[in-house]
A and B are shown apart, each in its own frame.
Chain A
Amino acid sequence: DGGITQSPKYLFRKEGQNVTLSCEQNLNHDAMYWYRQDPGQGLRLIYYSQIVNDFQKGDIAEGYSVSREKKESFPLTVTSAQKNPTAFYLCASGTGNYNEQFFGPGTRLTVL
């Protein structure tokens, strides 16, 4: 089945540790996106990539890093520099230019 997957669904980490969230898609989409969702707020863009080996910062990139070595994969690393990492993280993919995006199931990260 075609789709976009994120793993794990729930993730717990100690403060000060880096953690990497996985996002994989088999939709042959060029563009991939990472969003953060906090209670009572709209989704905010962390990073996006329009093509392999290229990515751009979104509105809240500080404390995060990404890579796009393969078209199918766009992992997000939450570093210890991110001051409030506890959130729900959503990955999306699309054909580009912010047309219809397909969202993964999300990863809920809790930093203890």
Chain B
Amino acid sequence: DTGVSQNPRHKITKRGQNVTFRCDPISEHNRLYWYRQTLGQGPEFLTYFQNEAQLEKSRLLSDRFSAERPKGSFSTLEIQRTEQGDSAMYLCASSLLTDYGYTFGSGTRLTVV
């Protein structure tokens, strides 16, 4: 297993466009998390899945954000009508059900111009 994979690594988009990021977790991990991180700050929780069920969604996540995890495997995070304030690193992590130790991907850096 090669760990958690995120694509793309970088995305530059114009304000108002839609973007979609993909995360492939470690195959045996039940839980998958999305976090957002700005430069020099700690990650902020966005949402998480246990298998295919989305169990929690942060109040930070406006209606423009949606995440899916079909069949409990990979996950996608979509941002509609992007705004400059959406510029950040979007991190995906996965873990086992019984273990809080996260394995993070390398992240997708989004720049909205």
Q: Do A and B bind each other?
A: no
